[in-house]
Structure 1
C-alpha cells in the first residue's frame, strides 16, 4: 500500500502549463519531452513535431492526448493497479498579485466528496491575498475535507520564514494540520535559487512548537542541510518527489547522505511523494524504481504509507 503525498490531478498539471508565461516557459521546456513520452510519443517524434509546429501548438496536442488517456476513470485505474491508496491533490494558489482572488477550493472539495478515501486535499494559501486567502483555507480544512496545506515560496517570491506566512502557520498549528513547503531548486530565472533553502523552515518550526512541516522535493541540492534540519526538529518531515528514483539511488548525485540516513535515523520522517505527472513517468514505473532502493522492509513500509497515515490522520 502506498500514500502519495506530493501530486495533483492530470487536468491541473497540464492546464497550468498552457498559460505559457515567462515563468512557465522554463518548466515547459524542461518537462515537455517527458510529457510527450507519457502521451506515447518517442523523443524523435517530439523533435520532428517541433520542426513543423510551434512549441505552444505541440504542447496543446500533447495535453489533448493526455486529457483522454488520463481521464478520471483511467487515472483511478492506474492508481488501483499501482496499489496507491491515497493520492495527493496540491491545490496551489500561485502568483504575487494580491489583487487577484484566492484560488477556488470548491472544485477539489467536490472531488474529495465524490471519491471518498481516495485523495488527500492540500489547500493552497497565498500570503499576498492575506485574510481572504486565510478564510478560504480555514473553510477547506474545517468544512471541506482537506487534510493539509501547500506552499510554493518560489511562486510567491518570499521565503518560508517570511512573516506574511505566519497567519497560515498559526492556523495550522491550531488545527494540527501539516504544511507541505517547496524546499528544493526552482527554475524561475527571475527568482533566487536559494529562496526555497531548507534553512528557511527553521524559524517557523521554532516559533510554532506544534507546527508540522513536510519539506517537499527533499531539499536537493542542499541535502546535508536538510538532514541536519530533520535530525534536529521533531515536527519536520520530507519527501523526495519530482526526482527520478533511479537518480536518487545513484551515487554521487547528491542524495547519498539521504539514502544512508533514511534507513535509520530518518525512518520516521520520510514520506512517499512522486509528482509522477510532472516527471512524465507512469506511477507504476516510478514505484518500480523506488523498489530498487536499498531500504529495509520495515523502513519501506513506513516510507510508503505508515508515516503519512499518521501525519494525515488517515487511520490506516
Structure 2
C-alpha cells in the first residue's frame, strides 16, 4: 500500500524558515509540544526524501505561506515529481487583484495543485469576502483549497480564525470547490466532522494528530461515514513519519487505501495509487 503525507516540510533551509536556527515563540511551543527537537536540523532534499521513504511514505505535500515563494515550491515539485505535490499561497489581505494573479501563475505556469490558506497568518477570517475571489478561482480551475481549521499557538490572533464552522459557509457558497480542513478541526470538538459529513466537497486532514488524541467517535467516523473524506499526514517535523505506524492499527483494512493515499489524491486531482480492498465479512 502506498502512503501520501498531506503536509510535510523537507529538512532544508527554505522549508525550515522560522524553525531553525532560532524559532519564534509560538514555533518553539510547537517544537516542545511535539517533541520535535530531533528533527530541528538541516539535511538535504535527497536525504529528506530518503527519510520519508524509509519510513513508508511515498509522497508528501509541500507548501508555503508567502506568494513570493510559490515558484520555489513549484521548482521543488519539478525537480522531485515522484516525491512531492505542491500547494500555492495567496494573500488577499495584501491586495485581491495580486492574489488572483499569484494563484493563476501558480496554477497555469507552475502546475501547483491547490491553495494553502491560513487565516491565522493573514489575520482575516476564512469567510471574509476578500477571500472569495481566490476560492472562486480554485473552484473554476478544479483546484483544492486547504484551509487551516484548528487551534494555533500564535497568541496574536484569536482562536476564531481556526473555527471549522467557517468552512460550512464557504462550502455553501462554493459547492464545487474541493476544501480540506487542516488538522481536522482539533480543539473545536466534532464541528469539523459535522461540516465534512454535511458537504460532499469537504475533506478532513489529520496532519499533526496522533490517533490517541482523537475521541472514539472520531475514529468511528474515519472508518465509517467519512471513510472517503479523511486524509492522513504528519505535518513533519511536528510528527515524525513513524506516526504512520500508530495510525495503521486503528484504520480498518478496507479504509486504509483511501485514508493513507486515495482520498488525498482525489482532493489534489492526482492519480489514485491504491486498489480498493474489500471489506471483510463478519463470520457467522
Report if TM-score (shorter chain) is over 0.5.
yes
- Alignment partner of 1:71 is 2:44: yes
CA–CA separation in structure 2 for the residues paired with 1:189 and 1:79? 32
CA–CA separation in structure 2 for the residues paired with 1:36 and 1:19? 11
Q: Judge conservation of contact 1:3–1:304 (CA < 8 Å) in 2.
A: yes
Question: Aligned-residue CA RMSD in angstroms?
Answer: 1.9
Of residues 246, 267, 271, the one that matches 1:289 is 246
Correspondence for 1:142: 108
CA–CA separation in structure 1 for the residues paired with 2:183 and 2:63? 14
Cα deviation code 1:136-183 (max 9, x no counterpart)? 221111121211110011111121111111110010010010111100
- Note the C-alpha offset of 1:18: 4.8
Of residues 211, 219, 234, the one that matches 1:259 is 219
For the residue of structure 1 that corresponds to 2:58, the secondary structure is: strand
User: What does 1:174-253 correspond to in 2, within 5 Å?
Assistant: 174-248=140-214
Correspondence for 1:299: 255
CA–CA separation in structure 2 for the residues paired with 1:18 and 1:114? 24
For the residue of structure 2 that corresponds to 1:297, the secondary structure is: coil
Correspondence for 1:47: none
User: What does 1:13-32 correspond to in 2, within 5 Å?
Assistant: 13-18=15-20, 24-32=24-32
Correspondence for 2:10: 9
- Note the C-alpha offset of 1:82: 2.6
- Alignment partner of 1:107 is 2:68: no
Unaligned runs of 5+ in 1: 39-62, 94-101, 249-254
- Alignment partner of 1:36 is 2:2: no
Correspondence for 1:276: 236
Correspondence for 1:313: 269
- Note the C-alpha offset of 1:272: 1.4
CA–CA separation in structure 1 for the residues paired with 2:210 and 2:134? 31
CA–CA separation in structure 1 for the residues paired with 2:230 and 2:71? 30
Q: Judge conservation of contact 1:13–1:278 (CA < 8 Å) in 2.
A: no
- Note the C-alpha offset of 1:7: 2.1
Q: Judge conservation of contact 1:112–1:145 (CA < 8 Å) in 2.
A: no
User: What does 1:156-175 correspond to in 2, within 5 Å?
Assistant: 156-175=122-141
Correspondence for 2:277: none
Pick closer, same or farther for the CA change 1:120–1:211 going to 2, 3 Å: same
- Note the C-alpha offset of 1:20: 6.0
Correspondence for 1:42: none
Aligned residues: 268
CA–CA separation in structure 2 for the residues paired with 1:13 and 1:278? 13
> In proportion to residue count, which structure has more helix?
1
CA–CA separation in structure 1 for the residues paired with 2:190 and 2:89? 29
For the residue of structure 2 that corresponds to 1:298, the secondary structure is: coil
CA–CA separation in structure 2 for the residues paired with 1:211 and 1:224? 22
Q: TM-score scaled to structure 2, two decimals?
A: 0.88
Q: Judge conservation of contact 1:223–1:258 (CA < 8 Å) in 2.
A: no
Cα deviation code 1:229-283 (max 9, x no counterpart)? 11111100001112233433xxxxxx3321111111000100112112123x2x1
Q: TM-score scaled to structure 1, two decimals?
A: 0.79
Unaligned runs of 5+ in 2: 274-284
